[in-house]
Amino acid sequence: MSKIEKKEVAKLKSDIKSDIKSVYENYLSVSGWDVPENDENASARLILDAIKEAVKEIEESL
């Protein structure tokens, strides 16, 4: 892998992590709007489980 490729992969990794964090935070905030008495920790775990499931499905499709 060339230096340019390594640099691009590093940038993509950073962008992907940022995007996933944004998705997580977005769904967490929406869950709070939908259910005001919501248990934020329980919601966070459910959202993370859904993200993990999506990643697993992508891995299995490779």
d(CA 47, CA 43): 6
- Asked whether residue 12 is domain-assigned, the answer is no
Q: Which residue range(s) make up the domain with 32?
A: 21-62
- Asked whether residue 6 is domain-assigned, the answer is no
pTM of this prediction? Answer: 0.73
- Asked whether residue 40 is domain-assigned, the answer is yes
- Asked whether residue 1 is domain-assigned, the answer is no
Which tokens hold the place of 19? 């995007």
Question: What pLDDT, in 10s, does the model give residues 2-52?
Answer: 888 888 888 899 899 999 999 999 998 887 666 667 788 888 999 999 999
Q: What angle do CA 51, 52, 57 make, to 5 degrees?
A: 100
Phi, psi angles (nearest 5°) of residue 41? -65, -40
* Number of domains forming the structure of the chain: 1
In the prediction, which pLDDT does 8 show?
A: 87
- Asked whether residue 10 is domain-assigned, the answer is no
In the prediction, which pLDDT does 60 show?
A: 97
- Asked whether residue 59 is domain-assigned, the answer is yes
Q: Are 44 and 28 in contact (CB under 8 A)?
A: yes
- Asked whether residue 31 is domain-assigned, the answer is yes
